Structure 1
């Protein structure tokens, strides 16, 4: 939920403001009610900015409430210098909103104020419509959610377990750039810390977790070699270990290298990563802790932004294969697809009933379970923060996850790695555009159409937007 400040700007002539005050207040009250009914926390200014002193005082008051986004509202003609003073006292992103009631020149007030802000280089967004307008409320909401997500990045800490995996340059980012551009610190944690903590983790808790998985999963396919109850419990103790480190070091999101050290000598992190990204474990509901496999920093940053915008778990996957005959992509990775994606249900039992735990494949001699399922169908937003020449860009598109009959699903999975999780995705981007331009092997997704929020986030972060569609 985003916190939105609302300040109405008025005419500075006493007699004109006296005539307009009730009209302005009624419009502001209606807008505030619309935003609150949409689920936002709204902080309305205690007075209308009808003098230079009020413009500064009311803006400071609203800013002190730690709002994510500030609306300057124009129901009438408004003195532009009140906007300039209020903007100077405002630290959050700005949206100028004009009432389109033709009885008063609200649009004129917004345009005059916006032009003045342009002259000093103060970034802002302009919107207009009736205060009960659902489209206006949706546009404000998208901007507010993006602003809240971007603000949440600042002052956060990313826990990086291990270094660069298998020479993967796109998984490593410049920590100075992260702090300067996003306000995110990076805490480096050796994977040996995870191993030590896992060995000391509560064996009874790991056994309880294993039994919960065995009771609810579609199958736990022990083979006596690559997957045994002991190996599954080692993975679950790793989950407990990472949870302890997260709490101890106040980590906001994380990434685990795993390959090749852990996957060859200890166990894979698939189970650990899946449940960290899930909104539950065997003890019930819990917060999602965004965790990227292969310690992918830009992947984790994309996921954290997605999560803060949507509130949902975020998919992490390789762009594994393009089925040209069907025009679908197999998004598949040995690390996490959160089990939530199997059915996208609030009930973990419903999700786990579609999840299989298979022995790891030959890539990973240490063994353990891979967390296998097919992502449930539905509209998805897919994105990735990538870099070109050191500069960030947001690569964004809409898509649809699909699922088919059992025979088709099985045939498609067998063309790659059937033991791993799969999302069959139809992208709103031509294959040739995607493959020629996408800047990583990992991609991320959340349910629904979140493009408006991601566009706004890119704008607020000052990074380039590459949005692809077939249109």
Structure 2
């Protein structure tokens, strides 16, 4: 959840403030209790803003606490210049909240303050209602969650392992633009580091991991494209990536993979899948976003979704549209986190549904493809793309579906059955999606996260391109 600062704005006349201070504090207590009950951390100050000096000093306290969002709370008439002075000390997003009361004109105070902020071009959001109203608290939470996701990006480092894959321009972003818009740095690392470190990785650890996979997943050795040696090479690649992440302090990553590694070393499917999982053979761990094909905009989208949802993020190609069923086969090598097989935090439950198949002819170096069918449920699907150099977030709701075994086999065999699949019904007509969507890769998390992502677009000042059947 988010870290929220609360700053109450009051009347600047001593004789008025003295009569309403308790009313302000009572309403602040209700607001803070509601936010904390929703799981947020709340930073509050000792008293309401009732003078120009307090506007500055109390706002500085909130700023020093490094909150994700500051709520300027108006439950009485408030001198508008107090808001302006406070806003001058606050660098993060602002939410103006009016407590609706027929006696105390908090709404008037919010409108006066909001108008003043408009005049100087300071962007903000406005909400109003009872501080104990669940819908209002949820709306504040949406804004705070979005602000937190954006704030977490700033100062992070993306590790790009290799360069542009197979001429894929949509996978390569402008590092200057990333610094300016998102505050993210890019560290360029050669793919040789994976080869070198994988070969030097601890043999006992690689054997331990292989045996763990053999116990919990379904491993289909063929003696050629998938052998114990090749699987351990893939495990070594995962260990190499973990070293690079720790050594370079990388917050999220992408691996080029194709064509060099997939042609001469091994596919990165195992490494990418388990980096995106909340566990490996050593137990629970923090999920790390890793995008296949060194997809920068894909990885950035995934990192935002991870910050919002707190779950692994699915990465897939938009592989095929089954027009007779109005469903999409979202499928891309072994990139899907194994967590999506059952959406369980118990790896054994997920891996029971995972098959490690020998790789297909696209990848002559061989290794395992991490195959499974994504579990059903509501999903938010999104992708940062660029239109004439300007970022936009393409967004839609969808549903992952499961079918009987025969139907699933038939659908998978129409594309690449060895790869992971997510069968998705999208809230967008096929003709609209195929005409407008700006990449071959798409990303998803469980549930409906559209409200937070709309707020993310506002905070980053990027275009929202939302797809719906309406």
- Alignment partner of 1:384: what SS? strand
Tell me which residue corresponds to 2:433. 434
Tell me which residue corresponds to 1:467. 466
- Cα shift at 1:32: 0.5
- Alignment partner of 1:456: what SS? helix
- Alignment partner of 1:309: what SS? helix
> How many pairs are equivalent?
470
* C-alpha distance in 2 between matches for 1:135 and 1:248: 44
Query: What are the within-5 Å matches in structure 2 for residues 369-448 of structure 1?
Result: 369-448=368-447
Distance verdict in 2 for CA 1:335–1:216, change over 3 Å: closer
- Cα shift at 1:335: 3.6
Tell me which residue corresponds to 1:293. 292
Superposed CA RMSD in Å reads: 0.7
Assess if the C-alpha contact under 8 Å between 1:195 and 1:238 holds in 2. Answer: yes
* C-alpha distance in 1 between matches for 2:349 and 2:336: 16
Unaligned runs of 5+ in 1: none
Tell me which residue corresponds to 2:113. 113
Deviations 1:99-145 (A, max 9, x none): 11222111111111100000000000001110111111111111111
Tell me which residue corresponds to 2:76. 76
* C-alpha distance in 2 between matches for 1:241 and 1:305: 25
* C-alpha distance in 2 between matches for 1:325 and 1:128: 47
- Cα shift at 1:2: 1.1
Deviations 1:393-421 (A, max 9, x none): 01001111111111111111111100000
Tell me which residue corresponds to 1:319. 318
- Cα shift at 1:304: 0.3
Query: TM-score, normalised to structure 2's length?
Result: 0.99
- Cα shift at 1:66: 0.7
Assess if the C-alpha contact under 8 Å between 1:3 and 1:69 holds in 2. Answer: yes
- Cα shift at 1:19: 1.2
Deviations 1:355-384 (A, max 9, x none): 100000000000000000010000100000
- Alignment partner of 1:404: what SS? coil
- Alignment partner of 1:379: what SS? strand
> Are 2:258 and 1:256 aligned?
no
- Cα shift at 1:91: 1.1
- Alignment partner of 2:400: what SS? strand
Tell me which residue corresponds to 2:12. 12
Unaligned runs of 5+ in 2: none
Tell me which residue corresponds to 1:166. 166
* C-alpha distance in 2 between matches for 1:326 and 1:99: 49
Q: Which region of structure 1 is more displaced relative to structure 2, 179-188 or 116-125?
A: 179-188
* C-alpha distance in 2 between matches for 1:198 and 1:426: 39
* C-alpha distance in 2 between matches for 1:15 and 1:398: 53
* C-alpha distance in 1 between matches for 2:43 and 2:52: 21
Query: What are the within-5 Å matches in structure 2 for residues 121-140 of structure 1?
Result: 121-140=121-140
* C-alpha distance in 1 between matches for 2:445 and 2:296: 18
Assess if the C-alpha contact under 8 Å between 1:293 and 1:335 holds in 2. Answer: no
Tell me which residue corresponds to 2:348. 349
Q: Which runs of 4+ in 1 moved over 6 A?
A: none
* C-alpha distance in 1 between matches for 2:139 and 2:45: 21
* C-alpha distance in 2 between matches for 1:239 and 1:29: 49
